[in-house]
Amino acid sequence: MRRLIIVAFFIVLLVIGGGLTSLLINGGTDTLLPVLTTTIEPTASREIMQGWKAEQMLLLIGFIAFNIVGIAATLAIVLWLLDRSMQNTKLKETGEIPKSGTTLEVRNADKVNLGGGQSSITSS
């Protein structure tokens, strides 16, 4: 509990210090956060958002989000296939029948153990 109080005290101290620094840099005017204006030309300014800038930003965010979703879907499919392959390999090596809901391709049906010690699947 003592450590939590100490950490909370330092966080509050940092927030107060940041606020005071912000007010000192700003010179005490009506805006809270200091903004250094480099130009008043709207096309060159970082602070002024024009229509075409907003469109470009929206397109960039959409492109990035779409690609992240595509990457996640691709990784999910690859990992699912790898996991399925690992399960099939493990089940083939042990020769046990999988639990219900698990798909298994049995190539060597004569090696499948049904739990009774003898194989009841016959290969033809």
Give the integer Cα–Cα distance in Å for 30 and 26: 9
Predicted confidence (pLDDT) per residue in 78-105, tens digit: 998 888 878 777 777 776 665 655 555 5
Give one word for 101, left, alpha or beta, with left for phi > 0 and alpha for psi -120 to 50.
left
DSSP type of residue 98 = P
- 57-84 mean pLDDT: 93
- Residue 62: how many other CB atoms lie within 10 Å: 10
Sign of the CA dihedral running 42, 47, 53, 55: negative
pTM over 0.75: no
Predicted confidence (pLDDT) at residue 110 exceeds the cutoff of 60 = no
Place of tokens 């033809």: 124
Question: Whole-angstrom distance between the N-terminal and C-terminal Cα of the chain?
Answer: 73
Structure tokens at 101: 């809901």
Structure tokens at 83: 């996991």
Structure tokens at 11: 């966080």
* CA–centroid distance for 42 within its chain: 36
Predicted confidence (pLDDT) per residue in 3-53, tens digit: 999 999 999 999 998 888 777 766 655 666 666 677 778 788 777 788 888
Predicted confidence (pLDDT) at residue 55 exceeds the cutoff of 60 = yes
Predicted confidence (pLDDT) at residue 74 exceeds the cutoff of 50 = yes
